[in-house]
Structures are given as C-alpha cells and as structure tokens.
Structure 1
Amino acid sequence: MEVKWDKKWASTITASLIAFFILWWRAEWSRDGALLAVIFAIIVANLFFVGWKAWETKKEKEEGFPPKDEMTLYIEGRAAYYALRSGLWFMLALLWYTWFIHVFNLSLPEPNTFEALIMSTLFMSLLFLGLKWNFGRTGNIR
C-alpha cells in the first residue's frame, strides 16, 4: 500500500507534533509527560483523520456519489454481525472467569470494570476490522 502524501497527511502530522510538544512542554519535559503527550498526539491525529473522512464523505455526497455501494454495506454488515456475536461471547467468558475466581477463591488476576470494558471493546473492534478486511479481500461473505 502506497501512501499519498497530501494535505491530509501534512496537516495531521503538523497538528500531532504541535499537540505533542505543547503538552510535553506543559509537563515540564518529564518522561511521564512525554508518554502522556504521545497519547494525546495520537488522539489528535485520529480526530484529524475522522474530520477529513467526514469532509470527504460530505463532498462526495454533494457531488451525487453514494457513500457506500451495496457490496460494501453487505460486507460491513456481515463483519459487524460476527463481531457483535463474538464480542458477546467474549464478555460472557469474562463474566464466567470472574465468577470462578470468586466462587473457588482462585488467586488469578481479576480484571476491574474498566479493564473488562476496554478488553471487550478492543476485541470487538479488532475482530470487526479483521473480518471486514478478510471478507473484502476474499469475497467470501457467506
């Protein structure tokens, strides 16, 4: 995959670097502040990409192009269906894992609520992206 260096990339990199250095400067150039600044720069980059995508979609819609064709909608629908079903099973597995820890007094690490939510969200998101890529690549959507 070849990256086309255009205004979108230039503005995103510029905004991310500015956000990184401003936050790192506000944290008095500390190492912990650098980690926080990197995370903030990644968030800024994601916001820029979402903004660019929304602007491009709006522009294409005004020109009369449909945002997605039927095949793309079908592929995304199938991927979302399987990701949601698998995500629910993943959450049930976390519930059973936590239940077994308490019932049998096991000395295993127990995820707190935030960790369980983050694990579930990451699992479903990454599974959706992987299935969407696989269904789109292979064309096998049955």
Structure 2
Amino acid sequence: MTDAPPLNDDEVILLDHVPSLRAFRRVALLLIAVTLLPTIAFAVVFPDTYWPIAPLFVTCFLLFQERFTLGRHRAWVTNQRVLVQGGESAAWDTVSEATMTLGFVKLRRKGAGRTLTLSYAADATALINAINSARGTT
C-alpha cells in the first residue's frame, strides 16, 4: 500500500476504509428530496422570480463541494489506532465506543474529546465490527 500513512512499529493495517460513492448518492438523494419542499413553497410565494431555485442551488452547491472532497474521508483501521487521511488519529485506549448514525460511523473518545467520524461507509456494520475487533472488544 503506497498510499497508506506512515505506521508505528508493530502496527498493521486491518481495514482500509474508502468512502462509498453509493452511500454518498443515498445522502444526496435524501437532501434533494428534502429540499423540494422549500422549493415548492418558494414557487408558490414568489411565482414570478428566481427565488424558487435558491434552496436547490444551495443544496446542489453543498453536494458538489462534498463530492469534490469525498476522497478526504479515507481512513485506515490498524491494530493500534484509526488514522484519518487528514492526519487525525485516535488510539484505541482513547476510544470509548463505536456507534453508527445514519450510515456514518462515529468513534466516541473518552473524556471531553471530539468524536471522530468515518463518513460514507459502504457497510457500516462491518466497519464497526472491524473497529471493535481491533480494539479487543466484541
């Protein structure tokens, strides 16, 4: 794996999490469907203006930006920690649990630390199982 981050001694990559385009499409379709309600409301209130396209424009802009940065959500699960492509990592002794929220896997950290989100998992359950087995919990 030439694109893997530098690893510590005795560290082995157990899972290479690549964001799923299929999962992203599901999120995109949901956002567009939710945006249709304000678009219809704007079309009723402002029938002769360009305001009805504003909600769809904002949604499409946000989705375009997220699609463009989709590759930055890659992560590697190792036997010592999880590494995110942006350079952030979480050692297993600092992670209290792994949960799934709307297809996103969130690693809750012990104490007042932030959660680490692994986005657009193709199979979130398999990702959580891999994380739990790497942590040593089942």
TM-score, length of structure 1 as denominator length: 0.31
User: Considering only CA atoms, is the larger Rg found in Structure 1 or Structure 2?
Assistant: 1
Higher RCO, Cα 8 Å, sep 6+: 2
TM-score, length of structure 2 as denominator length: 0.32
Question: Which protein has the bigger strand share?
Answer: 2
Question: Which protein has the bigger helix share?
Answer: 1
